[in-house]
Structure 1
């Protein structure tokens, strides 16, 4: 098979010139890292928390697993599209055994009052624990929750907002844990001990930490982006908990909002601004709009459309489908990376979906170059945030738990984020990105076990901890 290798500067200079607006300088990335650090310090403070674009919410998770914990625990994963009830057993061979039931929430329930949703969940939990014959064992349960919460304690999470799939407005402003406890109280024959609620990123961090105890950072890299990390409790000025002498606190950064106050306007280009204005939440979640999979696809589509209208690429091809907003899916673009250099079979398959047939190799090469440029920028900007967290923690070696498909499915993204995290991180601190194979529900089960061990410290308990 003949292959065609192109040099962007020479073979499609207009494309190359436009793409340069997506290439941040090293100085700009350092500036991103340093502004992120400033915003995080403000987010952790009483004075700056409410106005920081990186609010740094307290998780009230202050214990990390060592990998030596053993026991059986329940978990509820509550995601936008479905829920999963889990029975997790941690055995002696660093092995996790999990039995689970996926629960699809009917639209009629999701759109109903909040009490109906939690009654539905409680009935499924009751049926699950009876089926697994643990209904009388009072097993600790943790909740991994993918929606916005205001955490007031480990087991108190006030619901701030649902995603668009849910209309259960009666639950907003109420404690999710208490709503589920109240619903489970209608099943007196079932004994379940709900001990805490955490978000997806923290669940991912804890799940990997049980296998790799040096894990100190969790990052979501998918349609959304978020991170969590281990902070010194002395820096958590919003914390007014009891004096328990625990030195650490896992922080939910909620860094998708980084830049909502204009902090990163210096790195946004005209395509970023146009995408933001066309989104359902203009002015919000600016950092996510650089790096979320949905947004990367839309940026690429907008660049291609602009270049087609100027006659720079895909001359003579129809433009009607590529002109439709939000139609470029990153999953298809990631598949292009399986083509070797100079081969454009997968790129043509993507174009086929836009009714652009028999494209020239030069145009397909330009398309791949646009994709690689936008993906690389996303990786660079996330590396700025991750290096900020690593530098804050001062650990000589950490593992970073990665959740979401972008890192796993896109070799360019993975290579670039590793390169730039090294470049932007203090060389004294070593790190390793690890794709987390366990679900966030496993992390919620670990959290419940740690909370149970802490609550009943010194007493006979079902969760073994080496103190």
Structure 2
């Protein structure tokens, strides 16, 4: 089976020995997850309307946040900047030196896994943790400047409202965070207070979203980059818009042809439930999430949720038609116990017709205490394909919507996030779906292509700090 011929377009072939009631239910689920080309185009058209509404500050599911990053880099930016990236899983602290060489930089970094309790702790605990790690980094790398404070760009990849580059009010938590006392507040002021309290020698000069950083860092190396996208724990994109096409900043009286980067925050697309084909498993993922009713699109496509969807499907099959009969599913029943990497490995196992499913068997045995038969392993691999295929195809809708809205006929999309690279066949499936949506002629190559992004939260954040200091 080649990459174009997956469960989206061909009948399912089950291994012999699987009971009819299991094959019937898996076929029903496959149909539930199928999104054909016509459906993708309808979703994309609705997406375009929501992008436009967000720029007008109308009642849109997509907030279309103005970031106040107003320039593409030239490649000749210089200076030394600290960057802090608070993602969904890790905290990364970097020292970035933009060198005299065109496009040149040097980077030193440390990564820290965010403590689990931090996601639902207090605001003081969050900012104290970040400030302490920055202090550790300065000490470990002998970067203390004495009375002179180092400029720092803070990558905070959550929906924020900005009225300037070093200010941002958190609209809502995403990615499983639910910390009281931060929503509705300026995160720059809160983090700076923690720095001051600990006498950490830095000053925040720019607040950056990782999508915007990805856009700027990728354009630093490749002028054909038109969209910066994140596909990892969450899902989001940024692009450059003309100020004259952003009605909600009309009061700023900016030149109509001036660029400004828009962080779409389109993980919230279709929170009003008008376009996306949600099924019972999507509803369950939403119900058990920290913020039900929010981030509808993200919950159907992003890395944080792909494994959870597959887990729910396996449990459903066990409980309704006796799949994995006799197995103890105690560990599998734990919320969020299956990561997207597990699903990817399952599917990759299933793609090799001669495979004995050793990786899938090891995952189910070691992580969940389940010992499936070879036939059951093949069904597990098929389920991985079903879930991941839909995620890739829906992901393409957001990119296609920006292309259609901007009249973008050719260019590249810089995509950051390990999930994009590691999910089996994700990139090729997203590319195929983009071709379907934008209806390119069969004899033409892909006009908009996906490429691995440059380091948005490190290099991109430093570049935005440098560009903003230029005035």
TM range (shorter): 0.7 to 0.9
Candidates 8, 12, 25, aligned match of 1:8: 12
Change (3 A) 1:299 1:173: closer
| Contact 2:230/2:417 (8 A) holds in 1 | yes
Using the size of structure 1 for normalisation, the TM-score is 0.83
Q: Unaligned stretches of 5+ in structure 2?
A: 1-6
Candidates 55, 60, 63, aligned match of 1:52: 60
Candidates 90, 95, 120, aligned match of 2:104: 95
Candidates 345, 358, 368, aligned match of 1:354: 368
The 5 Å alignment of 1:36-435 reads 36-46=47-57, 48=58, 51-80=59-88, 83-91=91-99, 92=101, 94-102=103-111, 111=121, 114=124, 117=127, 121=131, 124=134, 128=138, 131-132=142-143, 134=145, 140-161=151-172, 167=179, 169=181, 171-181=182-192, 190=201, 194-239=204-249, 240-244=251-255, 246-265=257-276, 267-311=277-321, 313-339=323-349, 340-343=352-355, 344-352=357-365, 353-357=367-371, 359-425=372-438, 427=440, 430-435=447-452
The one-character-per-residue Cα deviations of 1:304-351 (angstroms, maximum 9, x if unpaired) are 222233446434434444344422221122223553333111121222
Change (3 A) 1:89 1:120: closer
> Which stretch has the larger CA shift, 63-72 or 76-85?
76-85
Distance in 1 (CA, whole Å) between partners of 2:190 and 2:143 is: 24
Kindly state the Cα deviation for residue 396 of structure 1 after the two structures are TM-superposed.
4.1
Change (3 A) 1:376 1:82: closer
2:460: which partner in 1? Answer: 443
Change (3 A) 1:175 1:374: same
| Contact 2:90/2:113 (8 A) holds in 1 | yes
Distance in 2 (CA, whole Å) between partners of 1:445 and 1:251 is: 18
Candidates 15, 32, 48, aligned match of 1:21: 32
| Contact 1:58/1:251 (8 A) holds in 2 | yes
The one-character-per-residue Cα deviations of 1:5-64 (angstroms, maximum 9, x if unpaired) are x97345464222321110012111111100001111111114x1xx21112111111111
| Contact 2:244/2:257 (8 A) holds in 1 | no
The one-character-per-residue Cα deviations of 1:59-87 (angstroms, maximum 9, x if unpaired) are 11111113233333332223455544322
| Contact 1:62/1:246 (8 A) holds in 2 | no
The one-character-per-residue Cα deviations of 1:101-130 (angstroms, maximum 9, x if unpaired) are 456788799956649936972894597289
| Contact 1:70/1:90 (8 A) holds in 2 | yes
| Contact 2:88/2:233 (8 A) holds in 1 | no
Distance in 2 (CA, whole Å) between partners of 1:263 and 1:329 is: 29
| Contact 1:207/1:443 (8 A) holds in 2 | yes
Tell me the C-alpha RMSD between the 2 structures.
Answer: 3.3
Kindly state the Cα deviation for residue 264 of structure 1 after the two structures are TM-superposed.
2.3
2:3: which partner in 1? Answer: none
Question: Would you say how many aligned residue pairs link Structure 1 and Structure 2?
Answer: 442
1:33: which partner in 2? Answer: 44
The one-character-per-residue Cα deviations of 1:156-210 (angstroms, maximum 9, x if unpaired) are 21234557667572x55333334455565679995x5533211121122222221
Q: Unaligned stretches of 5+ in structure 1?
A: 1-5, 456-467
| Contact 1:298/1:326 (8 A) holds in 2 | yes
Kindly state the Cα deviation for residue 386 of structure 1 after the two structures are TM-superposed.
0.8
